Structure 1
């Protein structure tokens, strides 16, 4: 993901600050969040939400990609029980704020024993930036640290001039292999304790991969933001076990997350659309994606980001995920049975 892309996000942030989000949408199941991103359910039906946070009280000079900002322990993982009870599952994770956008924990995988957390880009003094960490659920102790930035620095798998890491998503295969999307490196990695990080597939044309999920048959889907977030430039690739493209779904815009439901249906989040004045408020959507194109499932969303299937077969989506005031993030239920 290039510096030009980050500069575009800063312009987008400036535009968004001129717009105050409207009142909470229908079917909100939790609100008051700070930059909610990816989500996951555990076997007991608890919903976990990654909150990237709002930085902190320490000012930092930043780097070429991020500029100046503040850091602090405001990123966290929030848990919502099936009865609606809300609690903090993991507190005080490092967060960087460059203004209206928080950077911190962005996605996760929950197993019976572990929480795998993706912490996206940050400044050099920010602990665990550009990494995936494993926490023991019983003790909260870190049991694995996967340094995506170090691998990018040593190997630069997409072959571009930039050394840039920004992990954004993770998926766990049945055999225990982790699949990790590094958006900045334009690379999908695998990781096992035995083999460490391995390049599964890398893209040299900067398509900006953002998300990964498994189909019921074990094949993979990868979502792309699209270079420069250009309208229609986003896509989803369906990959076989060797990383070869089985099929491609194009003409999407700003895909930030995807989910393949238990029945094999493919859904995607489009973070925004563009109007005459640029990125339009409340223009994000969740769409069902097939060979015939994208069918809207929920429109009018303000900066949505994460998507997950509920235990009942519906969907949840995080909204007001970036470029809005602190505490305005939320998670909405999308009942598929009402379609």
Structure 2
């Protein structure tokens, strides 16, 4: 396996371990004040990755966790090393429900995996036909044990019971659609207009459709590698595309955000339109480190930009939200966020944003901005 820790993968080939605290390896970010207009919905999170605003006024949150001490396994050495990397794991990822009165309850705990540079676990959450679904975890070939249950999978939440709906790693291991290293990071998730779950595999570089009843997985698109312009020494002339968010507009096509891997060149991220036949067309370009994509009640797409990437990871307070209007026209509507990872809207247009997704444990939050869809641009994109 060419991929070792869940973090080092991102630096070499583009998996989204960067969306945990991983890219801050050895770095303690400066404290970042909460933007004045953002109301705290949930806090003391460790790598919040997903948020979903339900119709009953409650909010669901996915926290990726801090690995754990339940067990460990090894993956092959990094290039230039002869020592396998040890990955620890435990059920420290969480699904949190915040009711309309603001009371937070941990509904379930899920696997979280961690290597020398950070941890990662569950990623996104959505509702379909009254049921809650979650994408959970990352797995790759070469691990010293078989895939852990509820890892690299789509899960269903019923009360406090979590069951595995689809084994995304199994699909990747059998099919390997992008013909690169077998690697599966079940990441983006959306309820499709066809009654299925649509998800991005950020490790497998593809868009998948999951039947929520049978768990059957259908390949919808494979995203090609993207060119690196003037790559640093030792960096290949391409980056893996790393699909993150998936959303839908009234035309029924799927819109997918891509976050190209190392060296995370500013402006290299984009949103791609995927038609029903799998054909792809750039819809909005010039984005940076796009971690999520959602459709607002105003009919526009909203992209989450994690931040500007430096030598020690994404710099604090450089994350932003970009509104994408018809035709791919971009306008930045919120800046100064600390490593935001996801966004969700209620019917009124209030936005719920996870921040601190790539920050120190227990510093993550969910913040609410009222009437967000009416915000005017704050700067040119």
> Where on the TM-score scale, by shorter chain, does this alignment land: which range?
0.7 to 0.9
Match of 1:130 among 147, 152, 157: 152
Hey, what does 1:18 align to over in structure 2?
A: 28
* Count of residues paired in the alignment: 332
Contact 1:45-1:311 within 8 A present in 2 as well: no
Question: 1:1-339, aligned counterparts within 5 Å?
Answer: 3=3, 5-7=9-11, 9=18, 12-14=23-25, 17-26=27-36, 27=38, 28-58=40-70, 60-64=72-76, 67-89=85-107, 91-98=108-115, 101-111=118-128, 113-122=130-139, 124=146, 126-137=148-159, 140=161, 142=163, 144-160=164-180, 162-192=181-211, 193=213, 196-205=216-225, 206-228=240-262, 229-245=264-280, 247-274=282-309, 279-290=314-325, 291=327, 293-322=329-358, 324-335=359-370, 336=372, 337-339=374-376
Hey, what does 2:15 align to over in structure 1?
A: none
Aligned partner of residue 151 in structure 1, secondary structure: helix
Question: Residues 277 and 154 of structure 1: is their aligned pair in 2 closer, same or farther, counting only changes over 3 Å?
Answer: closer
Contact 1:21-1:302 within 8 A present in 2 as well: no
Q: Which stretch of structure 1 is more off in the superposition, 94-103 or 38-47?
A: 94-103
Q: Which stretch of structure 1 is more off in the superposition, 182-191 or 56-65?
A: 56-65
Q: Which stretch of structure 1 is more off in the superposition, 62-71 or 30-39?
A: 62-71
Q: Normalising by structure 1, what TM-score?
A: 0.88
1:43 Cα offset (Å): 2.7
Q: Which stretch of structure 1 is more off in the superposition, 230-239 or 113-122?
A: 113-122
Contact 1:42-1:111 within 8 A present in 2 as well: no
Instruction: List gaps (5 residues or longer) in structure 2.
Output: 13-17, 79-83, 226-239, 377-381
Aligned partner of residue 227 in structure 1, secondary structure: coil
In structure 2, C-alpha distance between the alignment counterparts of 1:198 and 1:68, rounded to whole Å: 33
Question: Residues 32 and 152 of structure 1: is their aligned pair in 2 closer, same or farther, counting only changes over 3 Å?
Answer: same
What per-residue deviation string (whole Å, max 9, x for no partner) do you get for residues 208-264 of structure 1?
111101113422110111232221111001222223335521111110001111221
1:330 Cα offset (Å): 0.3
Contact 2:166-2:215 within 8 A present in 1 as well: no
1:150 Cα offset (Å): 1.1
Q: Which stretch of structure 1 is more off in the superposition, 231-240 or 252-261?
A: 231-240
Q: Which stretch of structure 1 is more off in the superposition, 33-42 or 289-298?
A: 289-298
Q: Normalising by structure 2, what TM-score?
A: 0.79
Aligned partner of residue 243 in structure 1, secondary structure: coil
What per-residue deviation string (whole Å, max 9, x for no partner) do you get for residues 106-141 of structure 1?
11122454221100215646332111122334x725
Hey, what does 2:231 align to over in structure 1?
A: none
Question: Residues 287 and 121 of structure 1: is their aligned pair in 2 closer, same or farther, counting only changes over 3 Å?
Answer: same
In structure 2, C-alpha distance between the alignment counterparts of 1:334 and 1:246, rounded to whole Å: 32
Question: Residues 292 and 306 of structure 1: is their aligned pair in 2 closer, same or farther, counting only changes over 3 Å?
Answer: closer
1:325 Cα offset (Å): 2.0
In structure 1, C-alpha distance between the alignment counterparts of 2:166 and 2:366, rounded to whole Å: 28
1:311 Cα offset (Å): 3.1
Contact 1:159-1:204 within 8 A present in 2 as well: no
